[in-house]
Structure 1
Amino acid sequence: MKTNSFTERLYDYLNNEEDARACSAISEDACKETPNNYFLILLSNTLTKLGDTLSNPKTVLTWVMSYVNAPVYLISFIVPIRESGSMLPQIVIASYVRTQERRKWIYVIGSVLQCLSIAAIGFVTLYTEGVTAGYTIILLLVLFSLSRGLCSIASKDVLGKTIPKKKRGKLKGYTVSVSGVLVLLAGLYIIYRSKSDANVTFYAVLLFFAASLWLFAALVYAFITEEKGATDGGKNAWKEAWQRMNIIKTDKHFRNFVIARSLLLCSALTAPYYVLLAQDNLGKESYLLGLFILANGLASIISAPIWGRMADTSSKKVMAIAASFAAILGIAMFFIIAFLPTIKSSFWLYPIAFFLLGIAHSGVRLGRKTYIVDMAEGNQRTDYVSVSNTLIGAILLLTGGISALVALISTKGVILVLSVFGIYGAYRSYNLPNVESK
Structure 2
Amino acid sequence: MSRTSTITERAFDAVADTDRTGGLNEFQQDAEPGNFFRHAASLSMTKTADGLNDPKLVLSWLLTSLGAPAFWIGLLVPVREAGALLPQLFTAPRIHAMERRKWAWAGGSAVQGLAALGTVWAGLSLDGTAAGITIVALLGILALARSVCSVSYKDILGKTVGKTRRGTVTGLASSLSSAAVIAFALVLMTGVGDRFTVVVAAIALAGALWLIAAALFSTLKEGKSDTKKPEAPFRAALEQLSLLKTAPELRLFILSRGLLVGTALAPPFLVVMASDAGQEAFQQLGALVLASSAAAFLSSYVWGRLADRSSRQVLILSGIAGGAALALAVVFDLSGLMGTVWAAPLVLFGLMLAYNGVRQGRSTYLVDMGPSDKRAEYTAVSNTVIGVILLASGLFGAVAANFGAVWTVALFAAMSFAGAATAFRLSEVQAD
- Structure 2 counterpart of 1:153: 151
- Structure 2 counterpart of 1:355: 349
Partner letter of residue 308 of structure 2?
A: D
- Structure 2 counterpart of 1:385: 379
Partner letter of residue 12 of structure 1?
A: D
- What is the SS of the residue equivalent to 1:85? helix
Distance 1:421 1:233 in 2: 40
- Pick from 174, 194, 198 the counterpart of residue 197 of structure 1: 194
- What is the SS of the residue equivalent to 1:368? helix
Residue correspondence of structure 1 range 112-127 to structure 2 within 5 A: 112-127=110-125
- Pick from 279, 284, 290 the counterpart of residue 282 of structure 1: 279
Distance 1:386 1:366 in 2: 17
TM-aligned CA deviation for residue 318 of structure 1: 0.4
Deviates most, 68-77 or 261-270: 68-77
- Structure 2 counterpart of 1:66: 64
Distance 2:136 2:397 in 1: 17
TM-aligned CA deviation for residue 202 of structure 1: 2.8
Asked if the contact 1:102–1:226 (Cα under 8 Å) also holds between the matched residues in 2, the reply is: yes
- Structure 2 counterpart of 1:183: 181
TM-aligned CA deviation for residue 183 of structure 1: 1.7
Question: Structure 1 residues 416, 103: closer, same or farther in 2, change over 3 A?
Answer: same
Asked if the contact 1:315–1:436 (Cα under 8 Å) also holds between the matched residues in 2, the reply is: yes
- Structure 2 counterpart of 1:48: 46
CA displacement 1:314-367 (0-9 Å, x = unmatched)? 101101110111112112212211x222x2221222222211111100000000
Is 2:11 aligned against 1:10? Answer: yes
- Structure 1 counterpart of 2:24: 26
Distance 2:355 2:233 in 1: 33
| TM-score (norm: length of structure 1) | 0.94
| TM-score (norm: length of structure 2) | 0.95
Distance 1:345 1:419 in 2: 20
Residue correspondence of structure 1 range 16-415 to structure 2 within 5 A: 16-17=17-18, 22-192=20-190, 194-198=191-195, 200-280=196-276, 281-285=278-282, 288-337=284-333, 339-341=334-336, 343-398=337-392, 400-409=393-402, 410-415=404-409
Partner letter of residue 136 of structure 1?
A: T
TM-aligned CA deviation for residue 195 of structure 1: 4.9
Distance 1:73 1:3 in 2: 59
Distance 1:55 1:319 in 2: 27
- Identify unmatched segments of 5+ residues in structure 1: none
Deviates most, 346-355 or 222-231: 346-355
TM-aligned CA deviation for residue 60 of structure 1: 0.9
- What is the SS of the residue equivalent to 2:39? helix
Note the aligned Cα RMSD (angstroms): 1.6
Give the paired residue count.
428
- What is the SS of the residue equivalent to 2:370? coil
- Structure 1 counterpart of 2:416: 422
Distance 1:129 1:407 in 2: 30
TM-aligned CA deviation for residue 248 of structure 1: 0.4
CA displacement 1:82-110 (0-9 Å, x = unmatched)? 11111101010001101100000000110
- What is the SS of the residue equivalent to 1:86? helix
Partner letter of residue 153 of structure 2?
A: S
- Identify unmatched segments of 5+ residues in structure 2: none
Deviates most, 126-135 or 103-112: 126-135
Question: Structure 1 residues 3, 357: closer, same or farther in 2, change over 3 A?
Answer: farther
Asked if the contact 2:267–2:288 (Cα under 8 Å) also holds between the matched residues in 1, the reply is: no
Question: Structure 1 residues 241, 3: closer, same or farther in 2, change over 3 A?
Answer: farther
